Amino acid sequence: MQSLKEKRRTGKIGSFKVGLIIVSFIVTAVLVLAIGALFMVPDIKDVWESLKSDEMIFSLKLSLWTGLLSTALVMVFSLPIGYTLSRFQFVGKGFVKTIIDLPVAFPELVLGLCLLLLFGNTFVGKIFSSLGFQFVFTTQGIVAAQFFTALPYACRIMKSTFDYIDPRMEFVSRSLGYSMFETFMNVSLPLAKNGILASTVIAFARCIGTFGTVLILAGGTYMKTEVLPITLYLNISYGNMGMALTSGIVLMVVSFAAIYIFERTEVSL
Amino acid sequence: MSFLSVSDLHINLGEFYLNGVSFDLDKGDYLTIIGPTGAGKTILLESLVGFWMPDQGNIYLENRDITTELPEKRNIGIVYQDYALLSHFTVYKNIEYGLKKKNPKGMKEKIHDIASALYIDHLLHRKPATLSGGEQQRVALARALVVEPKMLLMDEPFSALDPQTRRDTRTLLKKAIAERNTTVMHVTHDLGDAWTLANKVAVIRDGLLLQIGSLEEVFKRPQTPFVAGFVGATLMEGTVIDHDNGLSVVNVNGFTVRTLDPADIGAKVKLAVRPEDIIVGIQPSPNTSAQNNIQATLSGIMYEGKTSLLSLNAGETFFDVLVTNHSLERLGLTPGDTVYAMIKSSNVRIVNSNVN
């Protein structure tokens, strides 16, 4: 009998299949080279000096705390929204889903512009400012910009996470005497653990990397509303490559870490 | 009033629906619900537990209207085919889960009692994913039974189990519910579940409750051709032409059948016969009044493991006969042969004397 290995060797290899694989590799190769360039071009001393500069330290700190705060806010909202979209049927569900998803396809700059107009001199903007929230050209604005940019990704991941949890587990919990809220806390949340981790890291990476929305709403002011992407942008325009490359590297490391953790959780987007 | 009373229940979930379902159950009843896929069996269970709000109709449990009560207040347990165990808990925690909420006193003994009754006491520290299907289903049963629910609802609980495990689990379940006098509703595709566990059977199709009654009533006196076909019985229509020694003689399309059930001469009746109540021979048996001998043609043989199902037709009437493969071999039958179907008159049942 012919062994499986021999069969495979003698079997015809479809040119269609080979072609597709080659296309995938070509694009991957270009990306790998591009990412590699970010690490190969700068000289290490330059990067080290840039990291120690006041501007970089300010930018790193600001990015970290706004990113963490925005991520926390995103999770506080994406958990209930994801659960609602996964479990409940209600009037206007399609509308809610479309609008929340919209920023995925929306240019960041346009989103920033919309937020700027809303939080400017409108009724809504006045309500927020009377509550002590000033979003226009402030660090609070950075958080707002990051929040709206990252929210749709987190909501999507949370919805698909809850879709994968059998509602019958929740039914059983309720039949055993637990209310809907207790069931959510005891059953749905613990089972959604991986999805929560995945959507947290993706939300954090999106928050840290948000540029256009932040630029328009919070302004890209040197040492005031300067987060890492803004640092990259400002220094490119001054021709200060060391600073630009360093912020690029930091952002790249954050993204890699996020994608690595996301892949480990085996959650689908 | 009965223990459970469901009246005129309407519910519409699009793909699945119930259309005016009404029935009553007594305390300690074991009802199996059978019917084709998509008939509405699962939503019937889930609306009793309280997961779906009916569009119309009422549910009374112990004389209390529970139609709009929250599931967590009803104290009705449910067990699913895929077990729905909480995968982040150990077996012990799964069983403890409901008790902790409802009745935390003496939890440990109760859990150990039910675990040993269902032979899962050696698995308490394990996570559900490491257990076999039969073990997981016993854990799901333990979790539902340990809180002593007023009713236990089961949705095809054994259909994912192999035949041997299914028989063993049935035995354990039967004992556990008998000890607790639990009222049970059990959706199944396996008529064996009904025979071994139930005292009542309901047949549902397209959201309608076609027939509900004792095992004897539904299996031996199916009211409609659909129910007859579903429970494997043959339904014949005929007219009562005579009375003979306390038996009613019915003319069915040219041949006569005698039944013990009384009926007026001239009445149109439906007769039901079960395949296991018919004996096949190549000669008619000595004529006694208790015996029907119907000449028929063997039109087909279907092997089903240890037994075979023969299809006979007498005139325009078709009926199935269950025989052992041993006797089939002894008779040496092949399709096309002329045979005699012998049926005791007590096994021919009039299901409905006013046929329209």
pLDDT of amino acid A3: 52
Measure CB to CB from residue B78 to each of A166, A172, A193 and give the nearest one.
A172
Q: Report which residue type is found at A187.
A: V
Q: Which residues of A touch B137 (CB under 8 A)?
A: none
Q: At what angle do helices A167-175 and B41-49 cross, to 10 degrees?
A: 40
pLDDT digits (tens, 9 = 90+) for A223-263: 999 999 999 999 999 888 889 999 999 999 888 888 888 88
User: What mean pLDDT value characterizes chain B?
Assistant: 90
pLDDT of amino acid A12: 65
B355: pLDDT confidence band, cut at 50, 70 and 90?
very low
Q: How far is A193 from chain B (nearest CA, A)?
A: 10
Task: Give yes or no for residue A1 having a pLDDT over 50.
Answer: no
pLDDT digits (tens, 9 = 90+) for B191-246: 989 999 999 999 999 999 999 999 989 999 998 889 998 898 988 889 999 998 88
Q: Which helix (H) or strand (E) holds B204?
A: strand B200-205
CA distance B179 to B181: 6
Domains, in order of start, for chain B: 4-220 (3.40.50.300), 234-352 (2.40.50.100)
Q: Which residues neighbour B288 within 8 Å (Cβ) at sequence distance 6 or greater? A: none
pLDDT digits (tens, 9 = 90+) for A160-175: 999 999 999 999 999 9
Task: For chain B, list residues whose CB is within 8 angstroms of any CB belonging to chain A.
Answer: 46, 49-51, 70-72, 74-78, 80, 82, 84-88, 97-98, 101-102, 143-144, 147, 149
Mutation target vs B (from A88, A169, A175; most B CBs, 10 A cutoff):
A175
The string of DSSP letters for B45-58 reads HHHHHTSS--SEEE
Q: Which residues of B touch A172 (CB under 8 A)?
A: 78, 80, 84, 143-144
CA distance A5 to B21: 61
CATH 2.60.40.10 fits domain A44-265:
no
Query: How many other CB atoms are found less than 10 A from the CB of residue A90?
Result: 8
CA distances from A17 to A21, A29, A30, B196 (A): 6, 18, 21, 56
pLDDT digits (tens, 9 = 90+) for A183-213: 999 999 999 999 999 999 999 999 999 999 9
Q: How far is A164 from chain B (nearest CA, A)?
A: 13
CA distances from B109 to A56, B89, B124 (A): 63, 19, 13
Written as six digits, the tokens of B10 are 């309407």
CA distance A150 to A209: 10
Contact status of A107 with chain B (Cβ, < 8 Å): no
Taking CB atoms and an 8 Å limit, are A166 and B70 in contact across chains? Answer: no
pLDDT of amino acid A83: 96
pLDDT of amino acid A38: 85
Tell me the average pLDDT across B174-196: 92
pLDDT digits (tens, 9 = 90+) for A139-160: 999 999 999 999 999 999 999 9
Chain B: residue whose CA lies nearest to A183: B72
Tell me the average pLDDT across B143-157: 94
Contact status of A191 with chain B (Cβ, < 8 Å): yes
CA distances from B265 to A40, B54, B255, B272 (A): 104, 46, 16, 18
> How far is CA B23 from its chain centroid?
15
pLDDT digits (tens, 9 = 90+) for A8-66: 555 567 889 999 999 999 999 999 999 888 888 778 888 888 989 999 999 999 999 99
Taking CB atoms and an 8 Å limit, are A175 and B71 in contact across chains? Answer: yes
Query: Is residue B312 a contact partner of residue B275, using CB atoms and an 8 Å limit?
Result: no
Q: Which residues neighbour B228 within 8 Å (Cβ) at sequence distance 6 or greater? A: B222, B234, B235, B272
Every domain of chain A and the residues it spans:
1-40, 44-265
Task: Give yes or no for residue B290 having a pLDDT over 60.
Answer: no
pLDDT of amino acid A8: 54
pLDDT digits (tens, 9 = 90+) for B92-128: 999 999 999 888 888 999 999 999 989 999 999 999 9
CA distance B65 to A149: 49
A5: pLDDT confidence band, cut at 50, 70 and 90?
low
Q: Which residues neighbour B6 within 8 Å (Cβ) at sequence distance 6 or greater? A: B21, B22, B23, B24, B48, B57, B58, B59, B60
Mutation target vs A (from B51, B61, B145, B154; most A CBs, 10 A cutoff):
B51
pLDDT of amino acid B287: 64
Taking CB atoms and an 8 Å limit, are A177 and B101 in contact across chains? Answer: yes
Q: Which residues neighbour B3 within 8 Å (Cβ) at sequence distance 6 or greater? A: B24, B25, B26, B27, B29, B61, B62, B183
CA distance B18 to B185: 16
A269: pLDDT confidence band, cut at 50, 70 and 90?
low
Report the range out of A18-27, A33-42, B318-327, B344-353 with the highest average pLDDT: A18-27
Q: Which residues neighbour A235 within 8 Å (Cβ) at sequence distance 6 or greater? A: A241, A242, A243, A244, A247
B353: pLDDT confidence band, cut at 50, 70 and 90?
very low
Strand duo B349-352 + B268-273: pairing? antiparallel
B315: pLDDT confidence band, cut at 50, 70 and 90?
confident
Taking CB atoms and an 8 Å limit, are B49 and A168 in contact across chains? Answer: no
Chain A: residue whose CA lies nearest to B13: A89
Percent pLDDT > 70 in chain B is 97
Task: Give yes or no for residue A102 having a pLDDT over 50.
Answer: yes
